[in-house]
């Protein structure tokens, strides 16, 4: 019997659940209260899922920890995005002097 390749192996139940889940965009009304997993949130933010978890555990970014799982709402993702936004130098100087 030939060995099974990774592509031939059936997807795990976690992979099936993640692939069938409909994920709204964070800026929409549904996305405002939707709980994104770190893997889903990483698609909207400049960090990987692992980095998001580490930053959440270190309390460096806003997150939800209900049920002992790290999740992010659309509001959390927008806040993190604003924290990491790169501003033009002129805008930065105006903010400091203002």
Q: Is residue 13 part of a domain?
A: no
Q: Is residue 6 part of a domain?
A: no
User: Per residue, what are the HEC states of the chain?
Assistant: CCCCCCCCCCCCHHHHHHHHCCCCCCCCHHHHHCCECHHHHCCCCCCCHHHHHHHHHCCCCCCECHHHCCEECHHHHHHHHHHHCCCCHHHHHHHHHC
Q: Is residue 7 part of a domain?
A: no
Q: Is residue 58 part of a domain?
A: yes
Q: Is residue 8 part of a domain?
A: no
Measured in whole angstroms, how far is the alpha carbon of residue 95 from the centre of its chain?
28
Q: Is the pLDDT of residue 10 over 70?
A: no
Report how many domains make up the chain. Answer: 1
Q: Is the pLDDT of residue 11 over 60?
A: no
Q: What is the pLDDT of residue 47?
A: 92
pLDDT digits (tens, 9 = 90+) for 12-57: 555 555 567 889 998 888 888 899 999 999 999 999 999 999 999 9
Q: Specify the CATH number for the domain of residue 77.
A: 1.10.1660
Instruction: Label residue 97 by pLDDT band (50, 70, 90).
Output: low
By residue range, what is the domain housing residue 61?
24-91
């Amino acid at each position: 019997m030939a060995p099974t390749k990774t592509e031939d192996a059936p997807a795990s139940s976690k992979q099936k659940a993640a692939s069938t889940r409909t994920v709204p965009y964070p800026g929409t009304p549904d996305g405002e209260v939707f709980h994104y997993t770190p893997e889903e949130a990483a698609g909207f933010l400049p960090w990987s899922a692992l980095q998001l978890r580490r930053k959440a555990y270190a309390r460096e970014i806003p997150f939800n920890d209900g049920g002992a799982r790290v999740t992010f709402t659309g509001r959390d993702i927008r806040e993190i995005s604003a924290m990491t936004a790169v501003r033009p130098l002129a805008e930065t100087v105006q903010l400091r002097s203002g």
